[in-house]
Amino acid sequence: MPSLPFTPLPNATPARARILMIQGTSADVGKSLLVAGLCRAYTRRGLTVRPFKAQNMSNNAAVTIDADAPPGPDGSPARGEIGRAQALQALACGAPCSVHMNPVLLKPQSDLTSQVVLRGRVLGSWAAADYQDLKPGLMPAVLDSLRRLAAEADLVLVEGAGSGAERYLRARDITNMGLAEAADIPVALLGEDARGGMTASVLGAHQLWTASERDRVRGYIVNRFRGDPRIFDPAREDMTGATGWPCLGLVRWFDGAARLAQEDSLALEQRRSRTGSGLLIAVPRLSRIANFDDLDPLAAEPGVNLCWVNPGEPIPRAADVVLLPGSKATRTDLEMLRREGWDIDILAHVRQGGGVVGLCAGYQMLGKVVRDPQGLEGPPGDTPGLGLLDLETTITRDKRLLDLDQLDRRSGQRVQGYEMHMGRTTGPGLARPWLMLDEGPEGAESADGRVMGAYVHGLFAGDGFRGHWLRRMGGEAGELHHARQTQATLDALAVQLEEDLNLDRLWDISRPMGALPPS
């Protein structure tokens, strides 16, 4: 067990918040979105609200300012990272992102290993089985982070992970019932009706939980409901009759969900390519894709046709731009590009005058080689890149975390985003940067300006820069105001939850946070 890099909050610090946990009957039932909506709804009521997810597994992450860590060598604030869902929930609360909102972040590097990030800092990489041995030692940091949020808020909304009723994970659980019992948190169980199986999942959870765990559940919520609620009455009678848990509400299907950032790659299963005229941007769906919310602002543009290219499909010849997104395993996904024949498609696309953009790992792939001498993302070794930029990248142990809000002097637009990567890129290609920021050049582009890449995530979220880039690539910029749209969507979700749920009742079943176990 490695030493944990955190300083516990003094136990005397009072916790003023009430607390409620939303656990799911399975993954992808809408926990993250529901918590985001509740965060906005209670914030609109004048409460100070904070989100919390003890352990998250996602390659979509956001950079935080870590007030608890010492500043960097240049005096700048220390930075960490949390899951994208908690960043959206923080936005819903009108609060800055904090590492305490998601103290344990798992970033999958393969089917069997994940990078473990504790309170915003990389702890190392663990195989899935070995991580189970590590988890109990992480509980003190989890409880300490929860205590910190409770000291500054009126309400803490805790999101579970996956299914809370998986008995094989229960003994070392730090994020579902294990956390609920350790911190004495009441639970609302969330399932979804859109795909059916709501009754079976609720009754199954009831059967699998122990008596003390069942008593902790204050009721269940039906999510993503379509149709006449009266038709669902027999199901509610069955579930409540068998479990004794009341139904806390039916949440109707929310069409605006697609306009909010998703962190789980399961969301890509439901995404469809847009059809119609406009700039055609083809995005290969990489096996370890990361931070794919970079593409949301482009997909929302009326003049853009965003096309996801799935394994087994060629990159469309009609594409105007091929965009390579981020990845948690650059060399693995470079090999995937070649297996799928996408490298041949991309090189032909460039020869025919098409544009190529690489973001973060996608930028690394555009160079001549990606080296991983220490085996930080997989077996040690070198993998040839696409050779479209005269660059080389070496994966290093030190992770660069940086939030950006700077003027790009080349486009004349502000760039707001963040960097989050372990690679260091060098080579003659850097002499032609894509961006010229206040603090210096960033990224690279080819001599003809058709191939470009950078480490900046969130690059296209800025309306001005996105419009400039679309026009540069031969497209048109619409009237989309991405940040304003996100805020309006969160407000619309909060209004719907006020109608679909009894928020006063949810407040009543939450409980004041008493003394948590000592750190």
Locate tokens 């690059």: which residue? 459
Active-site position among 100, 421, 457, 482: 457
Of 465, 470, 332, 330, the closest CA to residue 410 belongs to: 465
**Under a CB-based contact definition with an 8 Å cutoff, are residues 516 and 146 in contact?**
yes
Q: Tell me how far apart the alpha carbons of residues 358 and 349 are, in angstroms, rounded to a whole number.
A: 14
**Under a CB-based contact definition with an 8 Å cutoff, are residues 323 and 283 in contact?**
yes
Question: Is 97 marked active-site?
Answer: no
Question: Is 360 marked active-site?
Answer: yes
Where do the H-state alpha helices sit in 246-388?
267-270, 296-300, 330-339, 342-351, 361-365
Of 335, 309, 324, 277, the closest CA to residue 451 belongs to: 324
DSSP state of 418: E
Q: Amino acid identity of 237?
A: E
Active-site position among 206, 360, 421, 482: 360
The Cα-based distances of 90 to 87, 305, 350, 390, 504 in angstroms read 5, 30, 41, 40, 22
**Under a CB-based contact definition with an 8 Å cutoff, are residues 445 and 391 in contact?**
no
Q: Tell me how far apart the alpha carbons of residues 57 and 224 are, in angstroms, rounded to a whole number.
A: 23
Length reported for the chain = 519
List residues with catalytic annotation: 360, 457
